[in-house]
Amino acid sequence: MQMADFSIRRPVAIWVVTLSIILAGLSSFFKLGVDLFPNVDIPIVAVKTLYPGADTDIVESRVTKILEDAVSGIGGMKHLYSVSSDSVSILTCEFELGVDFDIAAQDVRDRISEAVGQLPEGAEIPVVSKFDMDSQAIMSFFVTGNIDSVAFGDLVEKRIKDRISGLPGVGGVNMVGRQERQIEILLDRGHLQAYGLSADDVAMALKVHPVKIPSGRLQALDREYGFYLDGEYDDPQALADIVVSDRGGRVIRLGDVAKVRDGAEEARSFAMLNGKPGILVEVRKQSGTNTVALAASVHKAMDQVRQELPQGIEIFDASDISVFVKRSIDEVFFTLGIGALLTILTIFAFLGDGRATFVAALALPAAIIGVYFPIEMAGFTLNNMTTLALSLSVGLLIDDAIVVLENIYRHKAMGKAPRVAASEAVSEIGFAVIATTAAIVAVFIPVAFMAGMVGQFFREFGLTVAMAVGISLLMSLTLTPMLASRVLGDEPTNRWAKMMGKIHHTAAERYRTLIGWALRHRIITMAIAGAAFMATFAILPMVPSEFLPPQDKGQFNVEVQLAPGTPPQETQRVVEGVQAAIGSIHGIAYTAASIGSDARGQVEMAKIYVKLTDAMLEPRDSQDLIMDQVRKAIPQLPPGGKSSVMLIGDVDAGGSQAPVQYVLTGPDLDELAATSAKIRKVMEQSGGMVDIDTNLSDPRPEIRFVPNRLALADAGIGEAQLGQTLRWLNAGADVITQYREKGELADIVMRLKPEDRRDPAQLTAMNIRTPDGRLIPIANLVTVVHGDGPTVINRTDRSRSILMTANLAPGYPLGDAIKVVKDKEKELLPPGVQGKFAGFAEMMEETAINMGLTGLAIVSVIYLVLAFQFESFLYPLTIMMSIPMALVGAVGFIFVTGYSLNIFTMIGIMLLMGLVAKNAILLVDYTNTLRHEGKERNAALIEAGAVRLRPILMTTLAMIAGMLPIALGAGPGAETRAPMAVAVIGGLVTSTLLTLVVVPVVYSLIDGTKNRVGRRWNALWQRRKTVTKEG
């Protein structure tokens, strides 16, 4: 092989190339971003529209449906979800993976812009935003203080939020539980009526005061002055002097009909740490930013802030995802190092030669370090996928060097000179080495471009392995022969080497006997292999299945939902009780709660973040067990209240994180509710689903003011004016104007004082002014109706829907939960009602299909690559027989170790397809070489098996040794890595044992069939020629 011959002649050139690869890799390594997972585009676009004062039904009919109609025709849309609630409409557009996300988002913006003109008066402009996986909060802090709430909020914003926001890489900072300054105008009902005024009169007076109007520039002598009318007040109480009316020479000021209160806005969101109130500060990063580096930068800034804060203000670390990221990646690098060491020791154990081990081991740093350069060029980050790829393939990366070195070793043992042995050995084995590497690449290219969300996550995994084995191949064909031709000495004579030589010789001879027996009893051999393969299908139904194995991240959430209409203060009281009840459980470090912080601002909803103690520093129960203890410890909630304990997902797209999500859709909400009740019973009877819930909320008591349209028309008053007046009297949510002080703005709002708005009759007794100046009681224009109304209306794909969710009991697999519901679907779903799984369950079903297609693609590509390299359509079939043999061990080991079939074990099984083909390639390639030299088929098979036994065992044990630390790992993130390693190790063990026997038998069967068909074809051809001549 010319490449090997060149490297043997030009050692300095090879050293230059090798060192350049290593240096380029090192340079790139320190530039790589660090994150938990690859940066993945999740094609979700959200549309949020505020319609202040509108109830849920009105929001659905006048906003949500209009916007749904506008965006529903956009190409590539997979699902359209919507949530309508008081004053808020939220649309979630989920697109198919693979669509151009930027174009899809722009299409949504364009359609929404066209529909804005159809929205009712008073609805705000919809806000369209793309979901960014990197925009999730990576860390949070909890701040407590003993000063005035407004001053406390200002201090947190200026000293903490502004400081963090200015750091490079920070995408945004959010504050939960802050109360801003607000100037509240509290109207006196009696005084307004006594003076003959309406709320409209007061609002109009406030809108024109205070003012600050620029009036150009004024030049005087040699100076130029700014010139403006300054009508702003220096003190909020001075607002009381605003003239509301001066009819008939009688001046009525604001202070005559209202009180001015300077204080904090009404609390609608709360944050509590272990029951103690404060402000939660959440930090988001910019897309592509190094998570670990940014977290370190934020912590450094916070340490400085702590020293500058006044006494009584304390900052606590609430959450920090970078801790798990760093520990997880550090754990992978640790296992990689241990795996590399075990791999090198395995080589030494076989060869007993330190020099030979050194030659083979040098391929590892070149491949592992050098691959960081193409990783950086591809725009990847240092994350769990890229590091897992290197850790799993550490044994694989030295395979080619082992095969080449072992063959050089064998040729040198024949008495050849070192350079001659290196050259001839590589020429003999080079074709097989290239073929084995091509088989590996043939596996990971389809994996890298697999469809679906899983394909996006594993893209970096597949390409990283492919790039690493490419560098490994280059090193095995250049660096390894160059070093071997100069470093290898005479055959080692130490006791260990002699012992290993004897073991190898004995194993080879016994293996010759085994192959001979198998070739004489081919039917029995194939029957045994077939029985082993069929046993896989017997075991498979007993192996649990799930989308992702649960990870102990030391954190989870508790969601508490109280009855609709619960005041925020009552929610705060209940949550304090929950925090107190669960905070004493062993293993819980602290709890941080937030109320009213969701997108719809529901004050009856609370989320409690539970942080566990560090299991590496303090022994505690597993996360699953502690979650179960928390479920039992939560105290009895008020009527209508419910709670759920759930894992924190790696990806939060704004939806539920429950592993079981089942969506019912149909035209009749009552029928959907009845169906959901039946399915709920099925879930409860399974015994494996807990926290079963629906997003169908209880009706909320409401008071509706139904307008008398005839009376309104007679008075010349529009419904919008009437609604705005009622909002001014009761809600105080509309900002009329703002008060400026030292560059800061405070909202000015208006409503009746509390004692004047406790009963609808008090509101309807108020007057509204007509266009001609008359005052009419609101009671003359409306009818007051008491009733119940929906809190939230959910829709899926433009139909009303109910989302059912459930968490899984410890040890209960998602696959079993899906089966329980699917088995009862036909029986429970009435005509017109459709049911389907969503979330992880939907992704699990899609992934099973995509992985099946990817598996077929891998098998096809491997076959085509082998057919191309062997110039045969038959011999690749022999090699392909090693793939089913791998499934026997993979499934068996997964079953015995108690792991599940999930996306990681499935990727491990795909990895096996390329790995096990390597051994068969070595065997078949050398068999063909011997047959070309004139050996009889069976003799060639026996000789090839004996000669290739050592490299096959060396490479297999090296790969197993490299993966063993991952399979036995117990650090952060080990729950996802270990199952994959177990599947690969199991497949390697059984595949190697069975391949060494089955492949020679299959080869002989195929070759025999080929020869028989050939002889019959030749006989028929000869007979035809004879008949033709006679004719």
DSSP of 620-646, one letter per residue? ---HHHHHHHHHHHSPPPPTT-EEEEE
Within 8 A by CB and 6+ apart from 253, the residues are 240, 241, 242, 243, 244
Has residue 109 got a pLDDT over 90? yes
Q: Are 373 and 28 in contact (CB under 8 A)?
A: yes
Check whether residue 897 and residue 775 sit in a common domain.
no
> CA angle, 668 as apex, 666 and 670 as ends, to 5°?
120
> In this predicted structure, what is the pLDDT of residue 599?
58
What value does the CA radius of gyration of the chain take, rounded to a whole number of Å? 37
Cα–Cα separations (whole angstroms), residue 844 to 198, 546, 910: 61, 7, 17
Q: What is the mean pLDDT of the chain?
A: 85
- Asked whether residue 883 falls in the same domain as residue 770, the answer is no
The average pLDDT across 248-277 equals 85
pLDDT digits (tens, 9 = 90+) for 495-535: 777 787 788 888 888 989 999 999 999 999 999 988 988 98
Strands (E), 189-249: 212-220, 223-230, 243-245
Q: Are 101 and 95 in contact (CB under 8 A)?
A: yes
Residue 680 · residue 696 · CB < 8 Å: no
Residue 649 has pLDDT above 70, yes or no: no
pLDDT higher than 60, residue 377: yes
Q: pLDDT tens, 390-419?
A: 887 787 788 888 888 888 878 887 888 888
Say which amino acid occupies 643.
S
Residue 413 lies in a domain: no
**pLDDT at residue 7 above 80?**
yes
Residue 360 pLDDT > 80: yes
* Residues 903 and 1019 occupy one common structural domain: yes
Highest mean pLDDT among 31-45, 109-123, 222-236, 398-412: 109-123
Residue 731 sits in a domain of what CATH number? 3.30.2090.10
Residues 855, 849: contact at Cβ < 8 Å?
no
pLDDT at residue 654 in the model = 44
Bridge partners, residue 591, by sequence: 610
In this structure, the answer to whether residues 877 and 1010 fall within a common structural domain is yes
If we measure between CA atoms, which residue out of 745, 1018, 908, 870 comes closest to residue 388?
Answer: 908
pLDDT value, residue 653:
41
CB-based contact 854:458 (threshold 8 Å): no
Q: Is residue 801 within a helix (H) or strand (E), and if so which, with residue range? A: strand 799-808
Contact 756/188 with Cβ under 8 angstroms?
yes
Question: If you write DSSP's letter for every residue of 33-83 in order, what string do you get?
Answer: -B-SS------EEEEEEE-TT--HHHHIIIIIHHHHHHHTT-TTEEEEEEE
Token pair for 864 = 């085509």
End residue of a domain, out of 764, 789, 814: 789
Residue that is last in its domain, among 789, 815, 843? 789
Does residue 1022 form part of some domain?
yes
How far is Cα 645 from Cα 585, in angstroms, rounded to an integer? 15
**649 is a domain residue:** no
What's the rounded Cα separation, in Å, for the pair 455 and 930? 42
Is the per-residue pLDDT at 50 higher than 70?
Answer: yes
* 297-350 pLDDT tens trace: 999 999 999 998 888 888 988 888 888 888 888 888 888 888 888 888 888 888
Beta carbons within 10 angstroms of residue 403's beta carbon? 27
- Position 537 scores a pLDDT of 87
pLDDT level of residue 68 (50, 70, 90 thresholds): very high
- Contact predicate 364/398, CB 8 Å: yes
Dist. CA 1012–CA 471, nearest whole Å: 43
Residue with tokens 């050996």: 935
Q: Is 997 within the bounds of a domain?
A: yes
At 286, the amino acid letter reads Q
Give me the pLDDT at residue 1, please.
Answer: 64
Residues 776 and 884 in one domain: no
End-to-end CA distance of the chain: 54
Q: pLDDT class for 450, splitting at 50, 70, 90?
A: confident
Same domain, 889 and 995: yes
Q: Which residues form the domain of 208? A: 181-215+227-264+701-789
Contact between 444 and 914 under an 8 Å Cβ cutoff? The reply is: yes
Q: How far is CA 806 from CA 666, 673, 683, 901, 935, in A?
A: 21, 16, 8, 21, 66
Indicate if 1016 and 878 belong to the same structural domain: yes
Q: Is residue 845 part of a domain?
A: no
Co-location of 772 and 878 in the same domain: no
Q: Where are the alpha helices (DSSP H) in 658-717?
A: 669-686, 709-715
| Residue 1030's pLDDT band (cuts 50, 70, 90) | low
CB atoms within 10 A of CB 162: 11
User: Is residue 488, in this structure, part of any structural domain at all?
Assistant: no
DSSP 668: -
Mean pLDDT over 463-485 rounds to 89
- pLDDT exceeding 70 applies to what percent of the chain? 94
Angle at which helix 452-477 crosses helix 418-448, to 10 degrees, equals 170
Cα(1005)–Cα(1002) distance, integer angstroms: 5
What pLDDT is recorded for position 1029? 59
Please report which confidence band the pLDDT of residue 1031 belongs to, taking 50, 70 and 90 as the band edges.
Answer: low
- Residue 965 neighbours by CB distance under 10 Å: 24
DSSP 360-406: HHTHHHHHHHHTHHHHHHTT--BSHHHHHHHHHTTTGGGHHHHHHHH
The three-state secondary structure class of 317 is strand
In a domain, 231, yes or no: yes
Closest by CA to 656, choosing from 904, 489, 837, 494, is 837
User: Rounded CA gap, 183 and 150, in Å?
Assistant: 12
Q: Is 769 helix (H, G, I), strand (E, B) or coil?
A: strand
From the number of C-beta atoms within 10 Å of its C-beta (0-12, 13-18, 19+), residue 292 rates as: buried
Query: Helices marked H in 174-229 — which ranges?
Result: 189-194, 199-207
Structure tokens at 144: 């407590």
Task: Answer whether residue 503 is part of any domain.
Answer: yes
Q: Which position has the higher pLDDT, 994 or 801?
A: 801
Among the candidates 773, 789, 805, a domain finishes at 789
940-950: average pLDDT: 89
Position 733 scores a pLDDT of 59
CATH of the domain at 977: 1.20.1640.10
Q: How many domains does the chain have?
A: 2
Query: What is the arithmetic mean of pLDDT over 209-220?
Result: 65
Residue ranges in 687-781 assigned as alpha helix (H): 709-715, 719-730, 760-764
CA torsion, ordered 38, 43, 49, 54, to nearest 10 deg = -100
Contact criterion met (CB below 8 Å) for 549 and 903: no
Same domain, 753 and 888: no
The proportion of the chain whose per-residue pLDDT surpasses 90, expressed as a percent, equals 20
| Encoded tokens for 199 | 């709320």
Element (H, E) at 137: strand 137-144
Q: What is the pLDDT of residues 222-236, one digit of tens each?
A: 777 766 666 677 788
Question: How confident is the model over 563-592, as a mean pLDDT?
Answer: 89
Q: In this predicted structure, what is the pLDDT of residue 135? A: 64
State residue 881's pLDDT score.
82
Tokens of 454: 């899983």
Contact 655, 44 (CB under 8 A): no
